[in-house]
Amino acid sequence: MPDFHTERLEYRGLAFAGQGVKLLIGMKSKAKGRNRGRPQGFSTEQALDAAVRVFGEKGFEGTSLSDLEKAMGVTRPSIYSTFGNKGELYCKALDRHDRVSGDHFTESLAAGTAREAVERLLRAAVALFTDRANPCLSFFTQRPLSGQDASEETRRYFAEKRAGMELALRSRLERAIEVGELPGSASAEDLARYYLVVIQGLALQAQHGATGGELLGVVDAALQSWPAETRRA
């Protein structure tokens, strides 16, 4: 007869003995509580930073889950359990990116005059877009999200992000009209949209290899269209 070995298995506090039999039903997995697919020492922030770099370089639709797995150093199940689906991860990456670049936006708008605020904003954009260590261009050149990976909620979130930038700039320009920095005939809405289009154009030009000097030339040209300041008696 074969030499059967005896195993002792614990199940709900009771000990069972069986010859050559493994009792699997009802057993608690030793891996329970461990995050599957996460390497030891996993850092959520570092993984998210990696996602920012991939999305910033390739855009939403150009980024595959395989790209994210490789860059973040985790498996697909771990991405889903930690960050959600691809669309949810994109939103989190966009938020994390905004916490860095958004500071430049806020600081620029706090300048003494509206013209100075816009100039700072455009020059900060050039510095950001030409920083090869911080790929982010696709966040600015990304077209409206589409495809199966982008849920309606993700599309709406992305659109609201862009609308929020326009609203903040428009509010700053409206204050400039109120205090006479800009003529009453100026349209804060049109100016805000115009300079955000310039920013998107700068990002697109940088994506195609334009240098910082070339982009600053575009900034100077864009500022020449600034409406004449109202002169009060």
Tokens representing residue 107 in the block = 């600081």
Phi, psi of 17 (to 5 degrees): -120, 140
Q: Is the pLDDT of residue 117 over 90?
A: yes
Report pLDDT digits (tens) over 2-32.
443 433 333 333 333 333 333 333 333 333 3
Give residue for tokens 């639709």.
Answer: 61
Which of these ranges, 55-59, 62-66, 73-77, has the smallest mean pLDDT?
A: 55-59
Q: How far apart are alpha carbons 91 and 52 in whole angstroms?
A: 10
Tell me the domain boundaries of the chain: 98-223
Q: What is the mean pLDDT of residues 83-112?
A: 84
Q: How far is CA 81 from the centre of its chain?
A: 19
Query: Does residue 214 or residue 165 have the better pLDDT?
Result: 214
Report pLDDT digits (tens) over 147-161.
666 778 878 887 888
Contact between residue 16 and residue 7 where contact means Cβ atoms under 8 Å apart: no
Report pLDDT digits (tens) over 160-208.
888 888 999 999 999 999 999 999 999 999 999 999 999 989 988 998 8
In CATH, which superfamily holds the domain spanning 98-223? Answer: Tetracycline Repressor, domain 2 (1.10.357.10)
Query: Is the pTM of the predicted complex or chain greater than 0.75?
Result: no
Contact between residue 111 and residue 104 where contact means Cβ atoms under 8 Å apart: no
